[in-house]
Amino acid sequence: MQLKVDLRSIEKHVDITEVVRCSGLPASTLRFYEEKGLIASIGRRGLRRVFDPNVLERLALIALGRSVGFSLDEIALMFGPDGQPCIDRQMLAAKAEELDRTIRELTEMRDGLRHAAACRAPRHMACPTFRRILRAAASGVIGARKKRASRYVSFAHVNAINRRAVL
């Protein structure tokens, strides 16, 4: 029995083309991540950057962090000086709390939309709840982006306005 081995498959380094193919990221993103210090090339093969094969695992961790809302700067803190993952559990817990707030806010937004869609008033402008939501949006209570905590707007303020209007 004769064994065939593709020596290219056991290389210790992968060039940027292979990283692009395996990760699905464009080369420009890889270069940007390298500029930010998130990944590092270990040299060049001709004009192409060459990476350690572990870069794919690192890119997966970056993708996971981005998918849950971590900034690239926050993700950079998840790697120790040796380049190995060193994830702060308190940072993960804080992000989980932030996601819980976002879920509550989105739930309130969804409920407001469902009310507007199912409201029995002949026109939205005749619905007292819709008018309170409209006033809240006009005053900036809803509709304005929060600085860092969330990209979504809470209807909690609208609920507070509704409670005040009832009193």
Tens digits of per-residue pLDDT, 118-167? 989 888 888 888 888 778 778 776 655 554 443 333 445 444 444 444 44
Does 145 fall in a domain?
yes
How far apart are the C-alpha atoms of 109 and 106, rounded to whole Å? 5
Q: Output phi, psi for 161, to 5 deg.
A: -65, -40
Give per-residue pLDDT as tens, 66-123: 999 999 999 999 998 888 899 999 999 999 999 999 898 888 888 888 888 898 988 8
Question: Residue 34 maps to which CATH number?
Answer: 1.10.1660.10
For residue 82, tell me if it sits in a domain. no
Q: Which residues contact 37 (CB under 8 A, 6 or more apart)?
A: 76
pTM of the model: 0.66
Burial environment of residue 58 by CB neighbours within 10 A (0 to 12, 13 to 18, 19 or more):
buried
Could you tell me the residue range of the domain that residue 116 belongs to? 89-166
In a domain, 83, yes or no: no
Same domain (yes/no): 107, 142: yes
Tell me the per-residue pLDDT of 8-56, one tens digit each, with 9 for 90 and over: 444 588 889 888 998 899 999 999 999 999 998 888 888 888 998 889 9
